Structure 1
């Protein structure tokens, strides 16, 4: 006879469900982040129907300039006395301001010696960046790594630093090694990341700013309109008598919502907000519940008739 699942109290649920790195903003910071996030959502929708004349990369520059500073306001730094849980510190405001300037630098129509001059002039310097371009690109690299550390932890930034080190010191490897190369200097690394379509403004940001954000908005509409809850309620009614009703409910609701969502991310976010407490109360550990919701969201992109944005 299997042991009964552990009983999870409401207090434990509150601790486990909390997104630990993030702050719960209130007052002026909360209103500011809300207004900026709303503006970013409207910009994303506008880009779908009226793409900016300057091209998609110009839009990605604006998107990153609006989204990245919000990370420093919304997520804790965990830097000892410089960290605040109830709101941004002075350092967070400074980093957000620097991030905004650095991200907007490629499109600012202000000439600064042989640098600046607007978006077209910035693109014309590809492969031959001015010293100020290199400084701005290096700062953006550091800011992106710090934002990544705040939101995901240290593992991913460390992996990025290892590969950056490989690019810079690759010329020191024995030349008979298959992974050896001539080595790249700082200017070349920054140019590849900052002034090309394969770095900061490459495919990952393009997918996030063009597709994921739209389906996330769609999932939010389904959530607040009650449509996502309908799919969960339907799944609960189907598996009410099953001993594994909670797990089956999470998977089935993800499949049902995927039939109209087409996005694994949006499905996981939408159904997870409702089914996560159900899974936790049923005794699932946070790792198990999170893995189940992630798997259900990914599987949702195979739900007909949309078959997911990846199919197109």
Structure 2
């Protein structure tokens, strides 16, 4: 039995994007929370919690982009022109954030304040840009003969702005829960307060985005069994484990915060992101360019996909291995005496 290479690569790309969102999400969230820290020392500790892993987290973004170009070149050529402004904004913000991360350590008082602001601004801007990309993707892309045929600012709508605000709240929640897990003393307590606020914002915004998505494109609504103002209960029941997973994640986060747990709030936040991601996958499948191009139509030739699979079979275990090793080596709490060198 031969492998279904287009389907296999669609799963691989989906997993790389999910890994990026969950891993880089919490360190982007720490940058979003930077302005709310009371002291420079607290910000030093916040940065030290992600210093060993933040650049490794972004490897998944590179893999996702390169994988999309190599495995689904027709989708890449259709999506990028539709989303150039927010994608470029995201990349520039990530570059600024990376430079600020390195330079903040060596800056004197005035320079350190500048790079602190740059790190926070880069994190927030990158997150907003990712939300605009996601919102524009959900809305769908206009194609003609397999090429983008829409306007430069089709991605900029009230819906995409709502998604961007929701993603900011979601990353802030991940960042706060990460700090609960990895810090102690007063910063640990402040992170709990930030997590409560972010959790409430995520709950409200997730509900708003979910309802709005049903009206953005009828195909998504129909996939979930919603048409003409009514739900098909049989179809809704088939996909009910996905929203149940999201509610369970929300409850786990809230319960973990209430019981002053260290690790469970972060686990609950991850479950919420996983639920949202699976919900999007259900709404789009089999489209890779909503709602005109399926992953099979966008796929490269089978011999190219087979070669890529062989190369990915070597690269992916290395990326996963060094990622796990980094998290294991730098596990545990990070105190005020921690340093980044």
Structure (1 or 2) with the larger CA radius of gyration: 1
Q: TM-score range by the shorter chain?
A: 0.3 to 0.5
Q: Which has the higher contact order (CA 8 A, sep 6+)?
A: 2
TM-score between the two structures when normalised by the length of structure 1:
0.35
Q: Give the number of the structure whose residues are more often helix, by fraction.
A: 2
